[in-house]
Amino acid sequence: MKLSHLIKTISVKNINGASAGSFFNASDINISSIHYNSQEVLPGGLFIAIPGFKSDGHDYIDDALNRGAAAVLVQKPVKKDAVVIEVDNTRKVMGIISAQFYGNPSEHIVLIGITGTNGKTTTSFLIEKILVSAGFNTGVIGTIDWHYMGKSFRNPVTTPESLDLQKILSIMKENGVTHVVMEASSHAIDLHRLDGCHFNIGVFTNLTQDHLDYHKDMESYWQSKQRLFTEYIYLQSKKQQKTGVINCNSLKGKELLRNLKMPCITAGYSQENMVNSKNFQFGLDGITGNISLPGGNFNFKSFLTGDYNLENILCAAGTGAALGIEPDLIKAGIESLKSVSGRIEAVFNTKERFVYVDYAHTPDALENVLSTLKALGTGKIICVFGCGGDRDKNKRPQMGRMAASFSDISIVTSDNPRSEDPGTIINHILPGIHEVCLKEYLYPEILSGFDEKGYLIEPDRRKAINLAVKISSPGDIVLIAGKGHETYQIIGTKTLSFDDRKEAQKALEYI
């Protein structure tokens, strides 16, 4: 693609010190690929220099040129014997340029973005099922993977970098996908990964504490989430019909609704919502109830459980309604989702233990999943959990408080410690546990039984899972929280194979 065409919709400060107009009057060049990592640059490519959190792409311009870059895009004045395009913010223009390079794929598909602290992945899988039941070719981009038509690909972050996102959207579009549902993380919104996307629908699930390492305070985190609607959908999307689907069980959802000028579908338990539910019942085998939405109502049975999953179901049903999908197809979609990997995923066993792996890694998620299990079971609850390193430190004691409040025994272990010391992370969790209980069990003692609510520290996650299973009795519930579908554990700079489900399965064989 000609450089002049690639950058025609962005504001350029200068090219090689001259105005873009005078540069293109003299010459133009061909750009055959785009890169934000110098190590991936191909001859004839455009290298975009991004000032990052760890390093600065501007320091890798020589590397990019040595690998054959035809041009570089910068936000700091740089003198090189090459075509240098200067703009105000390289991260911001990368999305627009990438969309242009890949033929603006989101303009030609129905694009649904989901934001909120918890429930994005689950809601995206529910919406996918509804779209499939309505006969659409559907793609999904999120935490677990990006996939379409039975093909699945690894996704290193929940919402891909803009260049990768536009490429994924174009691959999906080229392969006949007509509808894409994607998670829109707050990092992605803040880091312009969604620039160049034209959404039809935005879904809001909820807002509770997470990611304060990045956003610093709840207000900035909240502002970032709202921008999916106020900026990306309301202002930037070229789509004719734009709709918000808002979970109004959440107070923040109600606040968002008041702030939005675009048409919205409200979802929630109470009958005043456009999508609501009555006569619902929760069991370990799922939820039953009746859903009313514009256009009809139906009885349903979902394999998902917990009141929070009913909120996810209502948001997904609202999205179906926003797209004009018939209620019976929405019902069929909801009922066809058997489970979401690593979300209250039962670990099968013949030992009469109820063992679940769940991705709860926030205080709210831990409270939700534990209170759901507590309400549904009669046995004791043993919860194995830790907190991720290099992530929000402030949520650690709160997760400790939640675990201790709803469990009989909390086994405090490691999640993905990343660059942090596992012992230090555990020390951040303990004050929250101590708000609820002070009893610390030690190994020999716990193996001979427990009557009093308490906790135990075992930094090795494998040993912690083993211990939880070992001390459980028939009828007890063991929740292994935090890592869900993850098949690895990040310790230091090493990513080691690790799967909570497999570890639990092995542990269950030996009791």
Ligand X SMILES: CC(=O)N[C@H]1[C@@H](OP(=O)(O)OP(=O)(O)OC[C@H]2O[C@@H](n3ccc(=O)[nH]c3=O)[C@H](O)[C@@H]2O)O[C@H](CO)[C@@H](O)[C@@H]1O[C@H](C)C(=O)N[C@@H](C)C(=O)N[C@H](CCC(=O)O)C(=O)O
Q: Which residues sit in the known binding site for ATP?
A: 116-122
Do 477 and 356 form a contact (C-beta atoms < 8 A)? yes
Which listed range, 16-24, 137-145, 169-177, 262-270, lies at the site for Mg ion (CB under 5 A)?
Answer: 137-145
Binding status of residue 170 toward ligand X by CB under 6 A: no
| Best CA proximity match to 192, nearest among 40, 17, 67, 51 | 51
Pick from 497, 420, 510: which is nearest to 461 by CA? 497
Strand pairing class (83-86; 14-15) = antiparallel
User: Which of 119, 286, 363, 379 touches ligand ATP (CB under 6 A)?
Assistant: 119
Interface with ligand ATP includes 146 (CB under 6 A)? no
In contact, 254 and 248? CB cutoff 8 Å? yes
**Is residue 185 at the binding interface for ligand X, with CB under 6 A as the rule?**
yes
3-state secondary structure of 112: strand
Distance of CA 505 to the CA centre of its chain: 26
For the bound state, the minimum distance from the C-beta of residue 41 to ligand API, rounded and expressed in Å, comes to: 27
361 binds ligand API (CB under 6 A): yes
Interacting positions 312-351 with ligand X (CB under 6 A): none
State which residue, 307 or 440, has the beta carbon closest to ligand ATP.
Answer: 307
Asked whether position 424 contacts ligand X by CB under 6 A, the answer is: no
Copy the structure tokens of residue 399: 């997760």
In this structure, the number of other CB atoms found within 10 A of the CB of residue 17 comes to: 11
Residues 105-134 that bind Mg ion (CB under 5 A): 120-121
Select the binding partner of residue 349 from ligand X, ligand API, Mg ion, none (C-beta < 5 to 8 A, by kind).
none
What is the smallest separation between the CB atom of 426 and ligand ATP, expressed in angstroms? 21
Residue 482 interacts, among ligand ATP, ligand API, Mg ion, none and using kind-specific CB cut-offs from 5 to 8 Å, with: ligand API
Q: How far is the CB of 342 from ligand ATP (least distance, A)?
A: 7
485 near ligand API, rule: CB under 6 A: no
Residue nearest to ligand API (CB): 388
CA separation, residue 256 to residues 271, 273, 401, 405, 407 (Å): 19, 14, 29, 31, 34
Question: Does 391 engage in binding with ligand API (CB under 6 A)?
Answer: yes
- Site residues for ligand ATP, 343-402, by CB under 6 A, read 343, 358-360, 364-365, 368-369
Nearest one of 116, 123, 180, 110 to 316, comparing CA atoms: 123
Is 55 one of the binding residues for ligand X (CB under 6 A)?
yes
Name which of 242, 232, 233, 244 is nearest 192 in CA terms.
232
**Residue 394 in 3-state DSSP?**
coil
d(CA 175, CA 478): 43
**x/- string (CB under 6 A) for ligand ATP, residues 65-104?**
----------------------------------------
DSSP-derived 3-state class of residue 118: coil
Annotated binding site: 38, 116-122, 158-159, 185, 193, 391, 415-418, 482, 486
What is the identity of the amino acid at 41? Answer: V
Q: Tell me phi and psi for residue 46, to 5 degrees.
A: -100, 125
* Residue of 42, 82, 157, 218 interacting with ligand X (CB under 6 A): 157
Rule CB under 6 A: say whether 37 interacts with ligand X. Answer: yes
Q: Which does 205 bind (CB under 5 to 8 A by kind): Mg ion, ligand ATP, ligand API, none?
A: ligand ATP
Element (H or E) spanning 404, and its range?
Answer: helix 395-406
- The half-sphere exposure of 144 on its side-chain side, counting CA atoms within 13 A, is 20
Q: Which does 125 bind (CB under 5 to 8 A by kind): Mg ion, ligand ATP, ligand API, none?
A: none
- Chain positions 114 to 173 lying near ligand API, rule: CB under 6 A, are 158
36 binds ligand X (CB under 6 A): yes
Three state DSSP letters for 228-283:
HHHHHHHHHCCCCCCEEEEECCCHHHHHHHHHCCCCEEEECCCCCCCEEEEEEEEE
Determine contact, residues 166/101, Cβ cutoff 8 Å. Answer: yes
Q: Is 129 in the site for ligand ATP (CB under 6 A)?
A: no
105 binds ligand ATP (CB under 6 A): no
Which residues of the shown chain bind ligand ATP in the complex (CB under 6 A)?
Answer: 116, 118-122, 143, 158, 183, 205-206, 308, 311-312, 343, 358-360, 364-365, 368-369, 484
Which residues of the shown chain bind ligand X in the complex (CB under 6 A)?
Answer: 36-39, 50, 52-55, 57, 60, 157-159, 161, 185, 187-188, 191
Which residues of the shown chain bind ligand API in the complex (CB under 6 A)?
Answer: 158, 361, 388, 391, 415-416, 482-483, 486
